[in-house]
Amino acid sequence: MTIRILLVDDHPIVRQGLKTLLEGRSGWEVIGEASDGAEAVEKAKELNPDVMVLDVTMPRMNGLEACRVLRRQAPRLEILFVTQHDSPQMMREAMDAGARGYVVKSNAARDLLAAVEAVSQHRVFTALNGREATGSN
Amino acid sequence: MKLRILLADDHEIVRRGLRSLLEKREGWEVCGEASDGREAIEKALELKPDVVIVDIGMPNLNGLDTTRQLLQLDPHFKVIVLTITDSDQVIREALDAGARGFVLKSDAARDLVAAVEALQNKRMFFTPRVNDLVLAGFLEKGHAVSRTEAPKLPTLTAREREITQLLAEGNSSKEVACLLNLSTKTVETHRSNIMRKLSFHSIRDLVVYAIKNNLIQIELPPPPPKAPVGPAAL
């Protein structure tokens, strides 16, 4: 299955790590990158990705704000947060903002592929540290 | 002969990014990875890399103490410290610890290759801010780095710093004893000494101290938006 992904994180080295992981899957393509929420909103409009992998803490516009804007601008886009915040409260906020998935950065190597697969099929995927990943339709 | 690099960062995704960046250079090889300071020391002793890249904010043993311990074990190790902040205090501690390179994580994609190259050529690599601080210290005080605001950490021994970090990370004395191969009684004695030296009465004081002195790092939530974001902002 082909999945077109937009990567959004303010650290290029993190984007590079995420990209090597995602592009290991046949048919998955990272079609663009952005380093803050405002750029993410612009690039989503231009590139029309299937899935956006989005960080929370970023300059200019953070991921939560970007997610709220994107929910209105691109309702078919699925948003997956990959963040340092290992917190149920932040996860709730992200899901309330309109995300379909939430993964903690320290576990990204373990959870990211399953999470992208799930959200690309419009299923929920959330995983905090020390808890089993949960998914639902 | 290949230049062999050891990577230490608690985030696998960051190690992947670093590895992918460094291995693009012909003749460079990432010979090993570690996810905390203790593992970094074990692997460095085992693999004898030419360059060790350590993140400051690692669990169990932070990058600054990892650097100190590595250089005590073998002064030939060449260490580059990766950090999310270049505050004066962090810079001073990194220099004190003996790091020969200092790279901001946000700039790693741009600066890390240059830093490794510098160390390969027996030079040092620092961000412009470190250079400014060192120069200012030299001009004002006649030596490399001003000591007027010495960090608080040297009041504790290396072992006490390790134990402070582990306690501040939420480990019990028994768990610390297990991690460090010490008896619980020995850890309790260190704990009492730490609390006495720092005039602390609670573990809360110790956690605050550990955060202030970069023994542990915390992630703050993003600030609330300054103004409502609506379709007009598009």
pLDDT tens, residue by residue, B74-125:
999 999 999 888 777 788 888 889 999 999 888 888 899 999 999 999 888 9
Which residue of chain B comes nearest to A67, CA vs CA? B229
Q: CA angle, corner A21, sides to B1 and B43, nearest 5?
A: 45
Name the one residue in this structure whose structure tokens are 């078919």.
A76
Alpha-carbon gap, residue B43 to B49, rounded angstroms: 9
Asked whether residue B150 carries a pLDDT value surpassing 60, the answer given is no
- CB contact under 8 Å between B109 and A64, yes or no, is no
Angle between the B12-22 and A12-22 helix axes, to the nearest 10 degrees? 90
Alpha-carbon gap, residue B212 to A81, rounded angstroms: 29
Asked whether residue B147 carries a pLDDT value surpassing 60, the answer given is no
User: Within a domain: residue A135?
Assistant: no
- The helix (H) or strand (E) run that includes residue A12 is helix A12-22
B34, B8 in Cβ contact below 8 A?
A: yes
Q: B120: burial class by Cβ within 10 Å (0-12, 13-18, 19+)?
A: middle
Chain B residues near residue A14 by CB distance under 8 angstroms: 11, 13-14, 17
Tokens of B51: 């360059």
Instruction: Supply the mean pLDDT for chain B.
Output: 84
Rounded to a whole number, what is the distance in angstroms from the first to the last CA of chain A?
19
**Residue A115 lies in domain:** 3-82+97-129
CATH classification number, B3-141, choose in 3.30.1440.10, 3.60.150.10, 3.40.50.2300, 3.40.50.1000? 3.40.50.2300
Tokens of B45: 């002793």
Name the one residue in this structure whose structure tokens are 């200092």.
B102
Alpha-carbon gap, residue A109 to B33, rounded angstroms: 14
Neighbours of B234 (CB within 10 A): 12
**pLDDT for B142:** 54
Share of chain B above pLDDT 90, in %: 52
User: Within a domain: residue A29?
Assistant: yes
Q: Where are the domains of chain B?
A: 3-141, 153-212
Q: What is the CATH number of domain B153-212?
A: 1.10.10.10
Domain containing residue A31: CATH number: 3.40.50.2300
| pTM score, whole prediction | 0.79
Which residue of chain B comes nearest to A59, CA vs CA? B222
Alpha-carbon gap, residue B14 to A105, rounded angstroms: 9
User: Within a domain: residue A90?
Assistant: no
How many domains does chain A contain in total? Answer: 1
User: Within a domain: residue A134?
Assistant: no
Instruction: Supply the mean pLDDT for chain A.
Output: 92
B21 to chain A, any CB pair closer than 8 A? The answer is yes
Please report the DSSP string for A87-98 in residue order.
-HHHHHHHHHTT
Chain B residues near residue A41 by CB distance under 8 angstroms: 234
- Mean pLDDT (whole number) for A16-34: 95
